[in-house]
Amino acid sequence: MQEGQITKALSGFYYITDENNTTYQTRGRGLFRLEGITPLVGDYVKFESDNLEEGTLVEIEPRKNALVRPPIANVDIGVIIASVTEPDFSTQLLDRFLVMLEYHGITPIIYISKMDKANEKEQAEIAQYKEIYEEIGYPFITLNVEEVENLKEEIKATFADYFEEKLVVFIGQSGAGKSTLLNYLNPEFSLKTAETSKSLGRGRHTTRHVELLPLLGGRFADTPGFSALKFEEIEKEELSRCFPEMWERKDECRFRGCLHQNEPNCAVKKAVEMGEIASSRYENYLQILTEIQNRKPRY
């Protein structure tokens, strides 16, 4: 029995890369389909193969996490790419991405693109947000170097420490600069970069399937860009766990299981009033909480 990781899934085939960096084309056992199990890119698996093109995927190791969109498992780090402009920076969207990553136990890194296109007001706003998110504990990377070559080297140096032996997923709105960032990190990828659609204010989809590729000592997955996130899995009592600055204050609230919404003597609401928790974060929390509370019951 051989072992490896699924690095690509396409047209019913699973491409498994072993510790020697050899990739085998396999098909899943029929039992997976009968049991409703779908192997995912990122899965650690056991397989049998006499040659590189006709193997059988036999067993999937337990996953530490799994995302639905993109369909990928065992993610360590999520790099959220948000642009200053075209599309405009949104704390609401950023916090929604952060909630998704926190819920799945994925370490977030925030990267702000297109700083060279930002005016003074926008740069000042980003500097304020940088302070807010770094205080929570999130890496918040903004690089604004005039010479492109220097920019590429600085970006590589910044990300190299995070990526070693990690599975990294890149997420963000279409047109926010995912492919551009990846081209900086490794020009050999030559990933398609799509100009942002002026009429729609968002980019055209340039990525069709999930594939893991080596990058700075780890593996990354480029994924379809999207701007809408639904939180079907998260229960209302779990949401504050996805906001670290709220979760650390949970024991200070008067009521156990406080939702930090309408309850009296709430430590989170007090921290917002005192300026210890950003009001934008709290407002985004309430918006997501309301969505969850208004969700149709599942039976």
CA distance 262 to 51: 63
What is the dihedral angle through the alpha carbons of 178, 184, 187, 190, rounded to the nearest 10 degrees?
A: 20
Dump the DSSP string for 96-128.
HHHHHHHHTT-EEEEEEE-GGG--HHHHHHHHH
Query: Could you read off the pLDDT of 202-260 as tens digits, one per residue?
Result: 444 444 678 898 899 999 886 665 545 778 889 999 999 999 999 999 999 999 999 99
Model confidence at 191: pLDDT above 90? no
- DSSP letter at 176 equals S
Q: Which of 29-38, 170-179, 217-226, 248-257 has the lowest mean pLDDT?
A: 217-226
Mean pLDDT of the chain: 87
Instruction: Tell me how far CA of residue 17 lies from CA of 1, 70, 140, in angstroms.
Output: 14, 20, 32
Helix (H, G, I), strand (E, B) or coil at 72: strand
All residues at 6 or more sequence positions from 164 whose CB lies less than 8 Å from its CB, including other chains: 216, 217, 218
The answer to whether the CB of 47 falls within 8 A of the CB of 17 is: no
